[in-house]
A and B are shown apart, each in its own frame.
Chain A
Amino acid sequence: GENVEQHPSTLSVQEGDSAVIKCTYSDSASNYFPWYKQELGKGPQLIIDIRSNVGEKKDQRIAVTLNKTAKHFSLHITETQPEDSAVYFCAARGDSSYKLIFGSGTRLLVRP
């Protein structure tokens, strides 16, 4: 089955700097890759997603890149702000599968 690995587990950046979180997946049939932000005591919130027919997607300060050949995808946050501090999860899913397989999460701290 699918396995998703996520790095780093913790990331501390200065406000205004960029943050990059990387994930790798094992199942080449996976074709949908969402990213979720989870604040303390709350449910995960979908912040951006990408399908395998595109290599990059951007939404304001957030971007996701996908390398199908290497089977890895990354989340890029530019001009980080303290309110970006949260736990971020990547996930992967194939068309034939109804399950989202999650990475282990990255705790991002943006220092003011």
Chain B
Amino acid sequence: GAVVSQHPSWVICKSGTSVKIECRSLDFQATTMFWYRQFPKQSLMLMATSNEGSKATYEQGVEKDKFLINHASLTLSTLTVTSAHPEDSSFYICSARSYGPDSYNEQFFGPGTRLTVL
């Protein structure tokens, strides 16, 4: 399957600071990337969908000014958690969707980034 990477794999920051998480599709071009949030022992919650070169589409209840998403190229999307607070501590996972004549538009996930806000 296709490979999606995330960086960093974990980050600890102080309350009030901003944190940027990178998501890269390593061996395919991803017109669409997705950002999820996962709390312990829970399912994945879609936060937003980003399309290369356009503004992200946020799910209901997700603050777009707090979770800034940029999808500047076909292989890179970034999520910036601005003015992070302890309640933002979570496991953030990105995903990229593949396209192509032989593809069923599978969606591949990155390894996740564990954010801890002190």
**Interchain CA distance A46-B107 in the complex, whole Å:** 8
What is the distance, in angstroms, from B114's C-beta to the closest C-beta of chain A?
7
User: Which residues of B does A touch, CB under 8 Å?
Assistant: 1, 4, 6, 32, 34, 42-44, 46, 49, 93, 95, 97, 104-112, 114
User: Which residues of A does B touch, CB under 8 Å?
Assistant: 32, 34, 36, 41-46, 49, 51, 89, 98-100, 102-105
What is the distance, in angstroms, from A40's C-beta to the closest C-beta of chain B?
10
**Interchain CA distance A67-B68 in the complex, whole Å:** 40
Write the chain B residue with the least CB distance to A42: B111
Chain A to chain B contacts (Cβ below 8 Å), 28 pairs: A32-B104, A32-B105, A34-B106, A42-B111, A42-B112, A43-B6, A43-B93, A43-B109, A43-B110, A43-B112, A44-B44, A45-B1, A45-B109, A46-B1, A46-B108, A46-B109, A51-B104, A89-B43, A89-B44, A98-B32, A98-B49, A98-B97, A99-B46, A100-B34, A100-B95, A102-B44, A104-B42, A105-B42
Chain B residues near A89: list those with CB within 8 A: 43-44
**Interchain CA distance A102-B49 in the complex, whole Å:** 15
A100 near B93 with CB under 8 A, answer no
Known pairs A42-B112, A44-B93; list 20 more (Cβ under 8 Å). Answer: A34-B107, A36-B109, A41-B112, A42-B111, A43-B93, A43-B112, A44-B44, A44-B109, A45-B1, A46-B106, A46-B107, A46-B109, A98-B49, A100-B34, A100-B95, A102-B43, A102-B44, A104-B43, A105-B42, A105-B43
Write the chain A residue with the least CB distance to B4: A43
